Structure 1
Amino acid sequence: MLLSKLQYRLASVVAILILLTLDLLWKLKTGGTVRFRLGYQSDKLSPRIESNRVNGLKKPNGSKAWIYSGPEAEDKAVILAKTHGEDVSWVFDNLQDWKQAIYYMDEPDGGMLHPPLNKGREAMAYLTFMIDHYDVLPSYMVFVHPHLQGWPAAWHTDSKNHNQINSIRSLRLAYLEEHGYANMRCVPDPGCPAEIQVDRQDERRTAEHAMREAWPYMFGGNYSDIPKVIAQPCCSQFAISRKQALRRSQADYEHYRQWLLDTPLDDDTSGRVFEYLWHVIFGQEAVHCIPLKQCRCEQFGQC
């Protein structure tokens, strides 16, 4: 009796292994993607492959500008920064109609795009993209974090289940064309109505202290020219039009990045300075706090 039970269990295990093997072979045959313990692989070429070749295209030698553009891609791009271990396969798998520019912040041998220095969180990648692609900017650009969905990793993404794909797909490009800038988060807190108050004396609020030096450096003037309140919904995820981006010169973006390269501030503080300056850089008032219902309706069509 004991032997028959062991034989039955062994046969069951063998059957399961055969089924798993057949399933794997089917996915490979049909071009499906397979996730392995040590990474993400596909039988299709993509920027995930550490190579200079994507779908027969080559990155020009010595060129810093490069945007992956698949056969379905329209004149719009998703730009994001990733660190080692962050899975951004959702971009390639679900946003084929978007061009893609992914910065490998701490992997000099991975991917196609790298910042001059891994500093200031996502701000370094965003500014580097603007500088290196200034002459070839897409009509519409969305700058987002690498997290796909869920809480707490993607709590800042303002869509059902905090899903980044839903957020990007629902963005109304007609709104972006008209206004030039859209914060990808409509929920006002944190950020609105008065996140940065430069006259506030609170040593814990390091970004406010940093803003007193950063604003005059970037936009000219002196302390008295800094708005008393600077605000928008957090968290450095936004969209811009090419028309709006070109209202700043390439030298302007280089100037902003130089501040980031030179500052002795820690990454969190320097990154937060830009978190509450993106809307100013792209032509909005110092306080950019659109009412929640209006934002969701006009920017994302959720009326």
Structure 2
Amino acid sequence: MIWPSPQHSDAPGRSRIFLYLGLTAVFLLLSYQLVLNRELLGSVADWASESAFPSLGFDSSHNTTDASAIGIADANDNDNGSLSATNDGHSINPPSPSTTPSKSINFGIPISTPSTTVPAIPMQTPTLPREKELVFAAMLKNNMSWVTENLPEWHSNIYRVDATPEQAELTVPANRGNEAMVFLTYIIDRYHSLPDVSIYLHGGRYQWHNDNPLYDSVISVRDLQPTFVRTAGYVNLRCTWAIGCPAELEPARYYRERPDDQDHITAVVFPDSFAQLFPDIEMPERVGVPCCSQFALSREKIHERPLEDYIWVRQWLLDSPLDASITGRVFEYSWHIMFGKPTQFCLDPKQCFCNTYGYCDMSDEDLQQQWQWRGQSLPDGWPNVPDAPTQAHLTGEPEAEAESESEAEPKPETNDSAEQSLKQTSEQPPAQRKRDDSKISSRKRSLALADEMLDISDASRQALRDASV
């Protein structure tokens, strides 16, 4: 076989032709791809920036996002250290920034939209929970200006039980159970943002059961020892035993005997209510605690029970067929049990006043003067009445009496004691005589009202007589 010689072969020519054709094809493909990509990028830029002129970048004039459209929450509104802002007890969830939906250009290949989201604003450190707050059960007619005027350092939550949400900033689902509905609603509203110490009070400044000579809620709040509340968890604002101690109710006996005690309705309904509210606690023989549903709690004590417990108890209050005044009384003798105290929880008054208010080294006379029974309604115009305690009485200072010129003259001496006593009585300053007369009248009134007091035990009724001014 004869192989062709090199000079007769045309292989080099054909190779060059194939090479040229290949290079030409590659060049055409690259050119086409470049044109295609430029058009695609321009279309994406037009869509994203809404510009009429296609470009490879974004028009900076269209790259600013209105913060109001994203709904950024003001971190300063969160006073309670939680992720949800609160407005005096009502939870408000801040809106989350909206995300731009992804788009695809219909060229067969999905294209992700360039991000135009404003860089995330660093969240401020949440405000720590408040140290102390007040919770009031009030009505629309109550003037609560005394709170801000006298206790400006306290944050106050004033629930208007007879108001609609349009009428008041804070209200309750229904006006049931007196102050119990307010106290439970606050705990439910604020369970995740509770202060260190919260105090639960009635709406009026002067209350007959406030444990100080002026019956003044301002004094009770100012003198309360927050450190003791943090230690004890639950602290009744009342140390005096009348009414409620040493034992106001006998649930086990009433449960067994079912007496028809119309003078003490709370004692009659309490056993069944207790069994529903505290199914895991044995029916107690006696329940005793100083009245009258005003107390302080630590955050830790409230958190010993889950939120669901308080929601369930409030629903029980809403569903109960009992009159609101009766269910309120049931809770009056249940709060201390709910917060882990013994069913009979009557502390030594001297120790109680020392721990709760810092009134230490009180004598028996001091204890007697600390609270006296005047009736459920204080005298009109209180405390600006003749027999109200004066600043001198409160501080233990001698009270100066103004004398007229005739009263200042030396009085003739006499050996007749009866005549001298009569003269001393008749020569008393008018203000002193008026105060003494008022005190006698007030005592008669208090004794009478002790017998008319509704829905208390015989022991409490006698304690009121003993505490009459």
TM-score of the pair, normalised by structure 1 = 0.73
Which residue pairs with 1:177 in the alignment?
230
Residue of structure 1 aligned with 2:145, choices 65, 89, 97? 89
CA distance in 1, matches of 2:283, 2:302: 22
Residue of structure 2 aligned with 1:116, choices 173, 185, 195? 173
Query: Which amino acid in 2 is paired with 1:168?
Result: V
**Cα distance, 1:157 vs structure 2:** 0.6
1:154-184: CA deviation from partner (whole Å, max 9, x where unpaired): 1111123101011011111111111101100
Alignment of 1:34-183 (within 5 A): 65-66=89-90, 74-108=130-164, 109-149=166-206, 154-183=207-236
1:171-212: CA deviation from partner (whole Å, max 9, x where unpaired): 111111111011001111101011111224223322122222
Instruction: Determine if the alignment matches structure 1 residue 207 to structure 2 residue 263.
Output: no
Conserved 8 A contact 2:130-2:196: no
Q: Secondary structure at the match of 1:78?
A: strand
Which residue pairs with 1:188 in the alignment?
241
Which residue pairs with 1:293 in the alignment?
350
Query: Which amino acid in 1 is paired with 2:210?
Result: T
CA distance in 1, matches of 2:193, 2:359: 32
CA distance in 2, matches of 1:92, 1:74: 17
1:89-119: CA deviation from partner (whole Å, max 9, x where unpaired): 1111121211111101112133311100001
Question: Closer, same or farther in 2 for the Cα pair 1:287/1:158, shift >3 Å?
Answer: same
CA distance in 1, matches of 2:143, 2:78: 24
Which one has more relative contact order, counting CA pairs under 8 Å at least 6 apart? Answer: 1
CA distance in 1, matches of 2:156, 2:86: 20
Q: Percent identity?
A: 35
Question: Closer, same or farther in 2 for the Cα pair 1:252/1:93, shift >3 Å?
Answer: same
Indicate the larger mover: 193-202 or 267-276.
193-202
Q: Would you say how many aligned residue pairs link Structure 1 and Structure 2?
A: 237
1:27-71: CA deviation from partner (whole Å, max 9, x where unpaired): xxxxxxxxxxxxxxxxxxxxxxxxxxxxx969999978349xxxx
Question: Closer, same or farther in 2 for the Cα pair 1:228/1:239, shift >3 Å?
Answer: same
Instruction: Determine if the alignment matches structure 1 residue 283 to structure 2 residue 340.
Output: yes
Which residue pairs with 1:17 in the alignment?
none
TM-score of the pair, normalised by structure 2 = 0.48
CA distance in 1, matches of 2:85, 2:301: 30
Q: Secondary structure at the match of 1:161?
A: coil
CA distance in 1, matches of 2:332, 2:239: 15
**Cα distance, 1:218 vs structure 2:** 1.6
C-alpha RMSD of the superposition = 2.3
The structure with the larger Rg is: 2
CA distance in 1, matches of 2:228, 2:342: 17
Question: Closer, same or farther in 2 for the Cα pair 1:93/1:190, shift >3 Å?
Answer: same
Conserved 8 A contact 1:218-1:255: no
Conserved 8 A contact 1:82-1:105: yes
**Cα distance, 1:214 vs structure 2:** 1.5
Question: Closer, same or farther in 2 for the Cα pair 1:187/1:147, shift >3 Å?
Answer: same
Conserved 8 A contact 1:105-1:118: yes
Q: Secondary structure at the match of 1:80?
A: strand
Return 5+ residue gaps in structure 1 as ranges: 1-55, 68-72
CA distance in 2, matches of 1:243, 1:61: 21
Query: Which amino acid in 2 is paired with 1:101?
Result: N
CA distance in 2, matches of 1:232, 1:105: 26
Instruction: Determine if the alignment matches structure 1 residue 217 to structure 2 residue 276.
Output: yes
Q: Which runs of 4+ in 1 moved over 2 A?
A: 56-67
Which residue pairs with 2:321 in the alignment?
264
Q: Secondary structure at the match of 1:102?
A: strand
